[in-house]
Structure 1
Amino acid sequence: MTDPRLSGADGLGCPAVPAAERFRRAIRVDPGLAARRLDHVLAVSIPEISRSRLQAWIASGQVRVDGSPRRSRDKVWAGEVIELEARIEPIGDCRPESIALDVVFEDEQILVVNKPAGLVVHPAAGHPDGTLQNALLHHAPNLASVPRAGIVHRLDRDTTGLLVVAKTLHAHCSLVAQLQARRVHREYCALTIGEVVAGGRIEAPIGRHPTHRTRMAVVRDGRFAATRYRVLERFRGHTLLAVELETGRTHQIRVHLTSIQFPLVGDRVYGGRPRPPKQASPALVLALQTFPRQALHAIRLGLEHPTLGTTMTWEVPMAADFADLLGLLRHESVTCS
């Protein structure tokens, strides 16, 4: 948990001056992260900075725990204060690539994009290039001096919709602070298997699955996570939900909805195997069986502009494949009513 009393001059863990060169953060180790490696605690606490970059900062002495340097593998304990003050160097392991971007809004501080399905947000194992981060560095080369090219939150590879990018370090600090304070409004459309009776709120901790390490799960020692949902439309055997995130854990919507027995259509990882309703037409059966991704679309985004201080909101149309599937479901629900 970031301790504002120990942060930069603005109380948000952001540098007062010069904003374009330094990155400062002070973190008091939460009891839930006690006895873990220093680099792991930093990666969890500052997810917008890559773990490799954090490890490099630790190795170069730019990170101290209770005033003393530590190694990446050293354990930290509840109540200790991790202080980070580092120079932001241009990204060297991610090259600009000419990849088309659907830009919804852009000014000197922020960039809002409508991400298509299949686009990975930043390089990772198995995806060294061809990512949104590569595209952003080509679109705006100055993003090389902003952590993770300005990416402050993520969408899964096959989730479509709105994502905001910080174009300056000041904007980066502002957006991270808003996300931590839960002041960024993120609304999704999610198509679930099963007929949801009413809306609700799911509060359940999320962490790595105990046996399937590439998956997330609701686990006792996971990180706090909360999701709100309401019913938008019901079909035979399926429900369209509006889902709002209070927190932003990996795969949060997919894991939470699966935990209440309503997995997303197309989500093979978390149990969304096709379950066509009885007497469904061949066209609908085929559409449900071949839908290639989780049916999840980030439709609305709202935040406070980093310098103007005004509230800004954006909305994008449903992704075409999602819209087509909804059209089939609506047609058959009317036909069978």
Structure 2
Amino acid sequence: MIEKEDPIISEEEAAQYDRQIRLWGLDAQKRLRGSRVLLAGLGGLGAEVAKNLILAGVKGLTLLDHEQVSEESCRAQFLVPVSARGQNRAQASLERAQNLNPMVEVHADRDRIETKPDDFFLQFDAVCLTGCSRDLMVRLDQLCSQHGIKVFCGDVHGYYGYMFCNLGPEYHYVEEKPKLVKPSADSNDGPEAKKARVDPNETTMVKKTAAFCTLKEALEVDWTTEKAKAGLKRTPVDFFLLLVLLKFRTDKGRDPDPRRVAEDSRLLKQIRDDVLEASALSSELLGDDFISFCFSEMSPVCAVVGGVLGQEVVKALSQRDAPHRNFFFFDGRKGNGVVDFFGPN
């Protein structure tokens, strides 16, 4: 990893980030201002994440994407102009991304992420992966974890979206809590008055630690164990939908295509059966109704999941406030999100 420089907030930056400094403090903003992030995948979700990180004020953001701008990506991706069809998505997103906040160093990289050597990823404080294969995400998660680099993964499939984060086995952060005020020693108002009370006008910063499992551990839960069976009722069905969609991407090298609805619907159903059977789970756990709602990227879902994902990166880099552990799932049909934690074993 590159040596971290001591970030200094200039007067201009203090004015630019005044609201954020008031919200989470100067130290948190300085940590954020000294951080470099890699964002892989400039689809609709990637554009939302890029926007949120740039506006928050990271030091540098590298946009990595080898894909070309297509008609479909123009619908969900607001950083690329309509006239950019056929151009590289990272390069086409650069100008609008940079204009969001000139104080952030934004770079475009046209290479395939699979061709990057391990050393490339070690120059960043956080790596955010969208549109990547399961094997690649697992490999990079393991690599970055070994070097203390924070890892985030996410995708949007139609009405569904998810986010995963791995901040390491021992992640330290601070959380603002209402301050408990002890009664004075000479209080004579009875036993109730002698109890500590919450003062709504005062807060205190509490240091906390959280542990995260790796992506491999999260995705490879053995559902035949008693512990896993006991937690099955608390596990959102979206988790198993994610396994199906990741296997579809692995098997076909792409996501479900709205131009191939009939063919891909049959494949999704078969993969669903295979995934659940391999986990010794009933196919009834994930009904057929999911199939009609997981095609293409939908802008509103990208906005919601990108907002959560971007905010989790900001929280992790600033070390301020409690993070999600480890998954966040969103179902646009219900308009809600579910947070769940998958620990190792």
Q: TM-score scaled to structure 2, two decimals?
A: 0.28
Q: TM-score scaled to structure 1, two decimals?
A: 0.28
Query: Quick one: higher RCO (CA 8 Å, sep 6+), 1 or 2?
Result: 2
Q: Which has the larger radius of gyration?
A: 2
1 or 2, which has the higher helix percentage? 2
1 or 2, which has the higher strand percentage? 1
